[in-house]
Amino acid sequence: MKKSLFILLFFVLFACPALAEPTLSEYVEGEVLVVLNAPMSTFSTQGASGANAFSQSLLYQAEAFADEYGLEALNTFSEIASVSGNGIIHLRSEYKSTDELIQELSSSPEVKSVSPNSIRRLALTPNDPGYPEQWGMNNISMPFVWDYFTGNDAVVVAVLDTGIDYTHPDLNANMARDSYGNYGRRFYNYLQNDDPMDNNGHGTFVAGIIGAVGNNGVGVAGVNWRVKLLAVNVFYNGMFYTSDIIAGINYILAEKNKGLNIRVVNISFGELETLLPDDSPEGTAIKSLSDAGIICVMGAGNNGVNIKTEERTRFYPACYRFTNTIAVGSISDDNYKSYFSNHGGEWVDIAAPGEGIYSAWLNNSYRFASGTSAAAPHVAGAAALLSAAFPNESSTQIKARILNRARNIGVAERFWAKGTLDVMSAYSAIPTITTTALPRGVIGVAYNQTLSASGAAPIFWSLAGGILPIGLRLNMNTGLISGTPTTLGTYIFTVRATNAAGSAVKQLNIEIISGSAAPIITTASLPGGDVGKPYNQYLSASGTAPITWSLASGSLPSGLNLNANTGLIWGTPIIARESSFTVKATNSAGSYVKPLSIVVARLGIAPRITISSLPGGEVGKPYSQYLSASGTAPIIWSIASGSLPAGLSLNATTGAITGTPTTMGTSSFTVRATNTTGNITKALSIVVRQ
């Protein structure tokens, strides 16, 4: 590649008034991008340490592969490898041509595909300023959408381009920050830095269409008045290298994996070239975006050609076809195909305004420009706005909204597969009332039931015919039917659900009945308890309140009680056993009985008397000695047989034998130690001397 071609490319992009004959892509001589048949690393990517090990392993193995062929490994792309299951290596040779490298590496059993490091061009052709209004926003029905929704800054759009002038007053408030606190990143000639500032203008122009702040009295309004824009600058020396594009995609995936809610990527550049496989290095990277749930919107190119399946040329990357990719052509303000736009119903999905578009430019300025570079961000902006409006829908569902609700313009001519962009149609859908039936109501009992409908919010509710039951009302904003019915009968009525797209009606009815609902005991079983441990468990029943509780037969465990008003069984069990009983729930409509049981178990360790003997005493001299035992407290002491010496007594709580002996002699007796788990006895004696 000669340097003069770089310079020529720069001037062709910004000065050519008419279409040039399409040419195939240039590439960087002596460089290739290789996709391997299997992942280069078996390391786990889970967690920061796992991701680092995975990335390092990729690098080591890439260098080993490069050494095998006498090449230099310039880069690997770990995030793409983790999503796609295939490693990509950027290789360079000081001695071999690109054609020689492709021929040599294609025969390797380790290689799935090999491609040149192609150069991509901008797809925007600026025009003189002066066009008086943003006709494109009216064309795609944005004023109607903005009445209901203007975007949400929870959604991030990655602009893979020449960067963004993040100081621009119409863009600064909508700039995203990556995990490092920067507005994005720049990738150029195998290098990178954390300043994605735009020095060309193209990326700033694209960003303005997607998300210039709206209704702020400054400049222009983007499709989204509120959104977050991540600048990914992959522009170097007047062009885009495929290796830098892949590095930028790798960065986007890394930021998404770190929690940045990137839902859309805009790519407004490309090149017409010989047919490439979908598993080429660039195709593998684009597929990784799609597989990660990111909608990839790409300009179809400005060569003015009809892209046909039978031809051997395609415009890349727009002609990579994956689940979440959209290729966009350009229309003029009369809805006809722009003279410069690539087209073809087999390869171009949809068209959007791309001629005479007014948007942000460098140095706080604005200008007019034309190209599929301007068309694609209208669709990317729509994808972001719809992702914010319908956050629970998948990227595939958002893509379907855009394509399936496009205007049927240019389809018959096979310019576009689906037609032209209509954001209002994609945003709105005539409501469908999904409530199939409403439950009965009871006189004097509060009624609450919310109607439901599919379709674009907000949906407003009204009565189209008939009347609600007396005492009930319909909330027009929420669809809630609420109140307290006062009159018996079956009430037939028709509800209407209305949104910006239209309305739907449906006939429903509510039957109002009298009386209370008899109780049904819903408690299936009761948990067990432990002796000496507090017990609290509520019985439960359906039916009209108030419900009173009682025992119909049997008895609760000793120590437990039943609260008649609350159904609470409470207390502290004192005997270990299973107690069976029948409870009754009663209200004004009737009663219900149910057999239940509670098993009470002993809690703790039985006592064991540890004192082996007692010392003697003397007549008239105070005596004090404590009995001792192991086991769960509290332990209660008593005399099981015999008697203590005259003048002495046993404390049942502490086990202390105290007093003053009055009679000489030997007294034999048996003591008993008792707790909640059991009891034990032991024979002892005390000798009293004179």
d(CA 314, CA 53): 38
372-389 and 395-404 are packed helices; what angle lies between their axes, rounded to 10 degrees?
120
d(CA 104, CA 445): 83
Task: Considering the candidates 168, 202, 343, 378, report the single residue annotated as catalytic.
Answer: 202
Q: Amino acid letter at 510?
A: I
- Identify whether 90 is a catalytic site residue: no
Positions of E strands within 142-260: 151-161, 184-188, 191-193, 226-233, 235-236, 239-241
Q: Which of 686, 535, 519, 511 is nearest to 603 (CA)?
A: 535
Show the tokens assigned to 476: 């027009």
Expressed in angstroms, the distance from the first to the final Cα of the chain is: 126
Q: Evaluate whether 277 touches 232 at the Cβ level (below 8 Å).
A: no
CB atoms within 10 A of CB 370: 23
Give CA angle at 649 (646, 654), nearest 5°.
Answer: 160
Per DSSP, the three-state class of 114 is strand
Contacts of 82 (CB under 8 A, 6+ apart): 45, 51, 54, 253
Q: Which of 316, 314, 249, 281 is nearest to 112 (CA)?
A: 281
- Identify whether 649 is a catalytic site residue: no
- CB-side neighbour CA atoms (13 Å) of 323: 13
**What is the DSSP code (8-state) at residue 35?**
E
CB atoms within 10 A of CB 321: 16
- DSSP bridge partners of 63: none
**What is the DSSP code (8-state) at residue 175?**
B
DSSP line for 518-557? PPEE-------EETTS-EEEE--EESSSP-EEEEEEE-PP
- Identify whether 553 is a catalytic site residue: no
The full 3-state SS of 306-364, as one line of letters, equals ECCCCCCEEEECCCCCCCCEEEEEEECCCCCECCCCCECCCCCCEEEECCCEEEEECCC
Show the tokens assigned to 281: 């290095």
**Secondary-structure breakdown of the chain: helix, strand, coil percentages, each rounded to the nearest 5:** 20, 35, 45
- The separation between CA 102 and the C-alpha centre of its own chain, rounded to angstroms, equals 42
Task: Considering the candidates 161, 198, 244, 349, report the single residue annotated as catalytic.
Answer: 161
Rg (the chain; Cα; Å): 41
Task: Considering the candidates 55, 57, 373, 579, report the single residue annotated as catalytic.
Answer: 373
Show the tokens assigned to 655: 């086990």
Per DSSP, the three-state class of 142 is helix
Sheet containing strand 636-642, edge to edge, reads 617-618, 679-689, 665-674, 636-642
Catalytic residues: 161, 202, 373
